[in-house]
Homo-oligomer: A and B are copies of this chain.
Amino acid sequence: MTSDKNIAETTGEQGKSKKAAKKEAKEAAKAAKKEEKKAAVDVAQAEEVDYSAGCYGNAVMNQSQEKLERSIIRVEDIGLSHIESKIWTRGRLHTSRAKGKQCFFLLRQQQSTVQCLLAVSESISKAFVKFTAGITKESVIDVEGIVRSVPQKIEGATQQDVELHVTQVWVVSAAEPRLPLQIEDASRPEEEKEGELAIRVNQETRLDNRVLDLRTPTNQAIFRIQAAVCRLFREALDQRKFVEIHTPKIISAASEGGANVFTVSYFKGSAYLAQSPQLYKQMAIAADFEKVYTIGAVFRAEDSNTHRHLTEFVGLDLEMAFHSHYHEVLDTIGSVLTEVFRGLQNQCMQEIATVNRQFPSEPFTFLDPPLRLEFPEGVEMLRQAGEQIGDEDDLSTPMEKLLGRLVKAKYGTDFYILDKYPLAVRPFYTMPDPKNKKYSNSYDIFMRGEEIMSGAQRIHDPEFLSERARHHNIDLSKIKAYIDSFRYGCPPHAGGGIGMERVAMLFLGLDNIRKTSMFPRDPKRITP
């Protein structure tokens, strides 16, 4: 039709005044168009020929048949600068609503949506509208359309100033008609509001159908925040001249005696999955790398079915030689984490807001430099709050939570370091306090009253290490390789391991670690 119109115009321009010619041409074009359209409609009605054919349908499966030069605008970028332009975009059919001869639909790409509309007209056939109305939710579609401004902001879309008047729709990848969960339901805020739908999606359904669940704006945000946690952690350590290393997950012996480790069949023998990269980080220190970190999978065969335990998680581990005092290391860890939090607040504002809309929480607070309390101070605070706890007892999980609230009330921080744990509750390789044998040079770090890191100055002297192992009734033959690592000189060092999923969960104030693990593993789940 467009080309016909051009032909009419060209013809009309010959030998006449430009204005008259233009007018005539316009009318001729109009008439021609009308006739054509009438004919098309007649034919469509008579023989069901579709005058929108070629403008919609199921695209042939993409096998990289050709390189299209077509430029594709991202949904988040569609705005006033495109007014009256014809553009191509790709996204998912989020929701659609057919109403008489019209079809409205929302096209979603990641966290952005744009309203699209299609109405039967001279160029849009009934069949086109019907086809579009029948596209299943979550199908990936290519849409061509003209960007138009709207009289009032569209509340239901992220692109509120414009809508797309559709000229072509092609289904790139169709979703099955029945979805095991609806993205809208999975995206609904936790808090119920009067007059709003109460449908929520429970966690098991989400995790069973993670490919759908991960499409919600909240999950898109959570895993970008998680990526930022790792990036900021690495940047802070790279700046401090730490070297990234990679440690083996398959190990020949369980360094802490063999409890809670998974066994692997290894050719004709067997091996274990590492519970921590600690031995290898320490070997890297004994091998002169001075400051190392590693980010990788850590495995715990604990049958703990709680909101904060996973059998496989991502460890942010670091180890560092120091000159005179392990606080050199602890101060480094504190400032690294402070930098991570500040980076998240500065760089992920939008993502944090998105998560908060679905799962409201108080903003995470921290001090710079971070608060460091000694274990006896924590015990004293708990006792003043009425808890019964011995000097050398470890803190129970409820006590940790309570202490978190007490610290928050007293110091105004969700983040603090608890230093100098009782020696009796720490592993054999922990360096005892030089002044008080009941305590040790070890620490835990807390966010919102939950532990995210455990660490210590490690014993770097092989004789003393053997002595401490014997004191713990550990079979020395089983940890020989560990002890031998220190026989050729090793500087004093300290370190710790941080649970990446816990950092993300607690920073965002979420209630379950499965929300910050893309494909969580627990005693009852190893799929998908």
A-to-B contact residues, CB < 8 Å: 61-68, 70, 72, 90, 92, 109-110, 138-140, 172-176, 179, 210-215, 219-220, 223-224, 226-227, 230-231, 234, 238, 243-252, 262-267, 271, 273, 280, 283-284, 286-290, 295-297, 299, 301, 303, 311-312, 314, 323-327, 431-435, 441, 457, 460-461, 464, 481, 485-492, 500, 517-519, 521, 523, 526-528
Q: Are A174 and B489 in contact (CB-based, < 8 A)?
A: yes
Smallest CB-CB A-B distances: 10 pairs: A214-B287, A63-B434, A62-B492, A68-B324, A175-B489, A227-B244, A64-B325, A175-B488, A67-B325, A252-B526
Residues of B contacting A219 with CB < 8 Å? 287
Q: Are B175 and A61 in contact (CB-based, < 8 A)?
A: no
What is the minimal beta-carbon distance from A429 to any residue of chain B, in angstroms? 13
Complex: how many Å from CA A301 to CA B424? 41
Given A61-B461, A68-B324, A214-B284: A491 and B140 interface contact (C-beta under 8 Å): yes
Complex: how many Å from CA A227 to CA B273? 23
Main secondary structure of the interface of A (DSSP, over half): loop
- Residue from the list B248, B288, B289, B327 in contact with A519, Cβ < 8 A: B248
Q: Are A215 and B249 in contact (CB-based, < 8 A)?
A: no
Q: Are A110 and B63 in contact (CB-based, < 8 A)?
A: no
Closest residue of chain B to A60 (Cβ to Cβ) is B434
Given A211-B286, A243-B227, A288-B110: A523 and B267 interface contact (C-beta under 8 Å): yes
Q: Are B431 and A214 in contact (CB-based, < 8 A)?
A: no
Q: Are A324 and B227 in contact (CB-based, < 8 A)?
A: no
Q: Are B262 and A488 in contact (CB-based, < 8 A)?
A: no
Q: Are B262 and A263 in contact (CB-based, < 8 A)?
A: no
Given A243-B227, A252-B527: A489 and B210 interface contact (C-beta under 8 Å): no
Residues of B contacting A231 with CB < 8 Å? 234, 238, 244
Q: Which of the listed residues A283, A326, A528 has the most CB atoms from chain B within 10 Å of its own CB?
A: A528
Residues of B contacting A62 with CB < 8 Å? 324, 460, 492
Residues of B contacting A252 with CB < 8 Å? 526-527
Give this chain's copy count: 2
Residues of B contacting A215 with CB < 8 Å? 287-288
Residues of B contacting A289 with CB < 8 Å? 110, 214, 220, 223
Given A139-B489, A312-B250, A489-B173: A518 and B72 interface contact (C-beta under 8 Å): no
Complex: how many Å from CA A227 to CA B293? 10
- Residue from the list B244, B431, B526, B527 in contact with A230, Cβ < 8 A: B244
Q: Are A518 and B264 in contact (CB-based, < 8 A)?
A: no
Q: Are A314 and B66 in contact (CB-based, < 8 A)?
A: no
Closest residue of chain B to A528 (Cβ to Cβ) is B481
What is the minimal beta-carbon distance from A516 to any residue of chain B, in angstroms? 10
Complex: how many Å from CA A62 to CA B488? 16
Residues of B contacting A523 with CB < 8 Å? 267
What is the minimal beta-carbon distance from A421 to any residue of chain B, in angstroms? 14
Closest residue of chain B to A269 (Cβ to Cβ) is B526
26 residue pairs of the A-B complex, CB under 8 angstroms, read A63-B432, A63-B434, A65-B435, A68-B324, A72-B323, A109-B288, A173-B486, A175-B489, A179-B488, A211-B287, A214-B284, A219-B287, A224-B243, A227-B245, A231-B238, A234-B234, A245-B518, A246-B517, A247-B518, A249-B249, A250-B262, A250-B299, A250-B311, A262-B265, A266-B526, A280-B519
- Residue from the list B176, B287, B303 in contact with A267, Cβ < 8 A: B303
What is the minimal beta-carbon distance from A321 to any residue of chain B, in angstroms? 9
- Residue from the list B299, B435, B490 in contact with A140, Cβ < 8 A: B490
Closest residue of chain B to A314 (Cβ to Cβ) is B246
Q: Are B246 and A488 in contact (CB-based, < 8 A)?
A: no
Residues of B contacting A68 with CB < 8 Å? 323-325
Complex: how many Å from CA A264 to CA B272? 9
Complex: how many Å from CA A326 to CA B68? 11
Complex: how many Å from CA A400 to CA B5? 57
Closest residue of chain B to A228 (Cβ to Cβ) is B244
Q: Are B267 and A172 in contact (CB-based, < 8 A)?
A: no
8 more A-B contacts (CB under 8 A) besides A175-B488, A224-B243? A64-B326, A64-B457, A210-B283, A262-B264, A264-B265, A284-B518, A481-B528, A485-B528
Closest residue of chain B to A295 (Cβ to Cβ) is B295
Complex: how many Å from CA A179 to CA B487? 9
Q: Are A489 and B140 in contact (CB-based, < 8 A)?
A: yes
Q: Are B488 and A521 in contact (CB-based, < 8 A)?
A: no
